[in-house]
Amino acid sequence: MTYNFDTTYTRLNNKLYQFLNLPQIEDPHILLLNSPLIGQLGINYSDDRSPQKLLGIDSSERPFAQAYAGHQFGYFTVLGDGRAMVLGEHITPDKERFDIQLKGSGTTKYSRGGDGKATVTSMIREYLYSQALKNLNIDSSQSLAVITTGQRVMRNTVQDGAVLIRVMKSHIRFGTFEYVSKFCSSQDLKHFADYVIERHYPELTDECDRYLSFFRAVLENTIRMVVQWYRVGFIHGVMNTDNMSITGETFDYGPCSFINYYDPSKTFSSIDTYGRYSFGNQRQILRWNLSVLGITLLPLINSDADKAAFLVKKELDTFDACFDSHFLKMMKCKLGITDPGPHDQIIASILQFLKINKSDYTNTFIEIMQPGTFEDAVYQTDEFKVLREEINRQGGDLKLMVENNPQHILRNHLVEQALQEYENTGSLDKVTELLKATASPYTKNKGFSRFQIPPSYDFDNNYRTHCNT
């Protein structure tokens, strides 16, 4: 068989999932295939361009959609996999476990009136972003393939349909705990939490305060994830609790983007009217999301509600210090500072420079470590030269800077150009170029220098991303 499935999730309470049949796709064609990932996972698939095997046609496991809830823009909502199904949990030759999920596979009982489908451009977009994040050394879901369905999907216009095969350690979310906490018994909650700990945090299994330790571990893992977003200028765009993985993996690449001209209040998402999930707000939204997760764990942490609340609050009170520590370490790496001191002032100075001048976030750090790379007038100012000299005095470790400052990110305007080219001509040339440019993002390559050029201010100010559901 193609996949080596050993699915454990469906041994839980059946309130947590719905068994499904494989989607009936009459005319599937592989559009994008991640051959290196197939090899890494040890999937039994030769590149014969046969999509049915990747879609699980030879599997003995029953696919399923997961139930979950979530706070969307701060409001509780009952959700679930409305257009996705997990084919099963694949075991690699190294005994690692990964969910194999089809996204855009059709309706489930959680679809809430939606069609359960996905457009080919939105799936190409997720393929691009998930692989870019992974190549930037950020924990992320990965895309195994984009497969066109031959069906038409109605959004703002009628578009071609596709499914994405997504790979993650787990699709369990903060919102899954919200669902279990609200709609299942206290015993179910305990069973579910024990399952999650055993599967994803086995080192905590025998701890007497394992549920509090679990919360602490998730807090630390998700802080690491978001700090890495700040390192490369990534805006997730929709940090609802149902889009937060308990394993600290970035996923659900809907209205995501990379920041160009530095502005902490920047958001590109068309649905984020008030900037709740802006670039600068991602820190405080993570803390809010963690508080929601903590509430679901209260009955497990202590039978005394007040004592449990005290213990969770005590952990949450470590958030700022933990985040500051990781953020400081990250910024020192970007500036090549190896000295153990805090260096708060120089970090504040570079962020202030970026904000006042609205400089390109990625290129400014390249210019610091590789002077003369860009002809932008802002880098010729005395202010910048003095700042760079001070950075070199305090740090400037080139190897460290090269490892932490990407030469290439997914520029939003280039992603749109690539998607438009595919829509208009069926060509994947620009998509392929983007995949090549972001495959080794820390390597300077003159052939990809155009990928370093930010869009016009006008494009950046008017650009909007969409969920496409």
DSSP reduced 3-state for 151: strand
Cβ neighbours of residue 453 under 8 Å, at least 6 residues apart? 411
* Of 242, 252, 272, 460, catalytic: 242
DSSP 209-273: THHHHHHHHHHHHHHHHHHHHHHHTEE-S---GGG-BTT--B---SS-EE--B--TT---BTT-T
Burial-class residue 200 by CB neighbours within 10 Å (0-12, 13-18, 19+): buried
Residues 214-221: contacts with CB under 8 Å, at least 24 apart? 214/297, 215/290, 215/293, 215/294, 215/297, 215/301, 215/312, 215/315, 216/315, 218/246, 218/248, 218/290, 218/293, 219/290, 219/315, 219/316, 219/318, 219/319, 219/322, 220/322, 221/247, 221/248
CB count within 10 Å of CB 280 equals 17
Per the CB < 8 A criterion, the answer to whether 215 and 297 are in contact is yes
Which is nearest to 365 in space by CA: 327, 403, 326, 415?
A: 403
* Active site (annotated) includes residue 242: yes
Per the CB < 8 A criterion, the answer to whether 2 and 56 are in contact is yes
Q: Rounded to whole angstroms, what are the CA distances from 349 to 148, 373, 416?
A: 48, 21, 33
**Rounded to an integer, what distance in angstroms lies between the CA atom of residue 291 and that of residue 381?**
44
Catalytic sites, residue numbers: 242
